[in-house]
């Protein structure tokens, strides 16, 4: 009975959608197997955490109220009154951090395998824009609980672009919706967090994955095959699912053993508490700004740091265009060495900000 219904359903879809063509493509696609193949799972893991974020985010949205008078109260309600509300919130917050961590790993490994080279330039460019969007999720989501740390960290965070020449003040006003953090800021952060960023990310992830299917998986320069390439469907897909199940188990354990906390409600009349720091992924910028003197020769120190970080982002996005086709088969040691230096710098700044 069941197999008969399933055959009827399959035939119905087969006669209306190109199911057979898609399946043929997935079965003919191969994933190269070599000593770096493990890194191929991190794009899929990023996708997994993104899906967790969408599902848990929708559940939180049912109860969250985005106004300064009700935001904190609604989070307390979610944590204490809603069945499993504390767990859903904890999973959402932990998965956000894990998503950013695996996204960085995905990007770093793609960088070292030089998978951004032609014809995959657009995969890299869409990836960097996705990185910006994902960091945007972190930034906009941080204010939503409206507790002390969220409030003051957003105050510091929205202050940072102010020193940028020409556009600085406008960027800050655009983010805050006024001179101070208030109801307008919360509305802006919430709309960005639940509508603008998810829509943009969904579209771009779709494009990124389409390109991945179109070009197939790249093979790193100089890698020796360990064994025969793996069929993408069903073999690699099943391994992807195995990595998702391990990630889910880990996420559930962390979210239950270390439930995400909530500080005191933000009080706009109280002075900022000592030692407020942003989330770990913004610490390198935060610490660099803190260490640079306010004037560097004729330049404003803070503006200079901001310009260097923005320029760094632009260089990163354009990377495939200057490490391109002409050097296709060369292991570009110079670019890899610069990459290692930048990663060491960012991690040291992060550690320094933590222990300071």
Binding site for ligand HEM (CB under 6 A): 40, 42-44, 46-47, 50, 103, 106-107, 110, 115-116, 120, 123-124, 127-128, 130-131, 134, 205, 208-209, 212, 217-218
* DSSP letters spanning 25-91: HHHH-EEEESTTGGGGHHHHHHHHHHHHHHHHHHHHHTT---STTTHHHHHHHHHHTSTTHHHHHHH
Considering the complex, what minimum distance in angstroms separates the CB of residue 120 from ligand HEM?
A: 5
Considering the complex, what minimum distance in angstroms separates the CB of residue 131 from ligand HEM?
A: 4
Closer Cβ to ligand HEM, 205 or 307, answer by number: 205
Considering the complex, what minimum distance in angstroms separates the CB of residue 205 from ligand HEM?
A: 5
Token digits for 79? 């944590």
Closer Cβ to ligand HEM, 35 or 295, answer by number: 35
Considering the complex, what minimum distance in angstroms separates the CB of residue 42 from ligand HEM?
A: 5
Considering the complex, what minimum distance in angstroms separates the CB of residue 137 from ligand HEM?
A: 10
Closer Cβ to ligand HEM, 221 or 304, answer by number: 221
Which residues lie below 8 Å from residue 302, measured CB to CB, with a gap of 6+? 160, 163, 289, 292, 294
Which residue has its beta carbon closest to ligand HEM? 127
Considering the complex, what minimum distance in angstroms separates the CB of residue 122 from ligand HEM?
A: 9
Q: Do the Cβ atoms of 45 and 243 come closer than 8 Å?
A: yes
**What is the DSSP pairing of strand 227-231 with strand 295-296?**
unpaired
Which residues lie below 8 Å from residue 93, measured CB to CB, with a gap of 6+? 260
Considering the complex, what minimum distance in angstroms separates the CB of residue 152 from ligand HEM?
A: 28
- Three-state DSSP at 224 gives coil
Which residues lie below 8 Å from residue 135, measured CB to CB, with a gap of 6+? 100, 281, 282
Closer Cβ to ligand HEM, 125 or 181, answer by number: 125
Closer Cβ to ligand HEM, 272 or 315, answer by number: 315
Closer Cβ to ligand HEM, 134 or 255, answer by number: 134
In 3D space, the residue among 119, 133, 130 whose CA is nearest the CA of residue 211 turns out to be 119
Closer Cβ to ligand HEM, 82 or 196, answer by number: 196
Considering the complex, what minimum distance in angstroms separates the CB of residue 320 from ligand HEM?
A: 8
E strand intervals along 134-250 = 227-231
E strand intervals along the chain = 30-33, 227-231, 295-296, 299-300
In 3D space, the residue among 157, 147, 107 whose CA is nearest the CA of residue 286 turns out to be 157
Q: Do the Cβ atoms of 48 and 247 come closer than 8 Å?
A: yes
Token digits for 70? 């009700």
Closer Cβ to ligand HEM, 105 or 184, answer by number: 105
């Amino acid at each position: 009975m069941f197999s008969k219904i399933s055959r009827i359903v399959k035939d119905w879809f087969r006669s209306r959608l190109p199911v057979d063509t898609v399946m043929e493509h997935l079965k003919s696609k191969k994933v190269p197997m070599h000593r770096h193949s493990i890194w191929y799972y991190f794009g899929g893991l990023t996708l997994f955490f993104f899906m967790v974020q969408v599902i848990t985010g929708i559940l939180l949205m049912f109860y969250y109220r985005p106004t300064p008078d009700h935001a904190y109260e609604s989070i307390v309600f979610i944590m204490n009154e809603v069945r499993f509300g504390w767990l859903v919130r904890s999973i959402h917050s932990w998965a956000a951090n894990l998503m950013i961590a695996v996204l960085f790993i995905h990007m770093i490994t793609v960088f070292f395998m030089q998978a951004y080279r032609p014809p995959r330039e657009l995969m890299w460019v869409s990836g960097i824009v996705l990185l910006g969007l994902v960091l945007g999720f972190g930034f906009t989501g941080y204010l939503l609980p409206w507790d002390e740390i969220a409030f003051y960290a957003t105050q510091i965070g929205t202050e940072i672009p102010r020193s940028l020449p020409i556009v600085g003040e406008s960027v800050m006003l655009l983010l805050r919706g006024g001179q101070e953090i208030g109801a307008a800021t919360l509305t802006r952060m919430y709309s960005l967090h639940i509508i603008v960023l998810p829509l943009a990310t969904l579209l771009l992830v779709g494009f990124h994955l389409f390109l991945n299917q179109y070009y197939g998986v790249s093979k790193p320069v100089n890698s020796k095959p360990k064994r025969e390439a793996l069929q993408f469907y069903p073999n690699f897909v099943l391994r992807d699912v195995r990595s998702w199940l391990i990630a889910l188990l880990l996420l559930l354990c962390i979210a239950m053993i270390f439930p995400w906390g909530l500080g005191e409600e933000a009080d706009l009349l109280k002075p900022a508490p000592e030692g407020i720091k942003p989330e770990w992924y913004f610490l390198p910028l935060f610490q660099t700004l803190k260490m640079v003197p306010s004037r560097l020769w004729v330049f404003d120190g803070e503006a200079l740091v901001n310009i260097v970080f923005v320029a760094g982002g632009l260089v990163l996005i354009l990377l495939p265009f200057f490490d391109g086709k002409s050097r296709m088969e060369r292991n570009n040691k110079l670019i890899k060495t610069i990459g290692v230096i930048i990663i060491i710098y960012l991690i040291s700044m992060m550690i320094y900000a933590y222990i300071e």
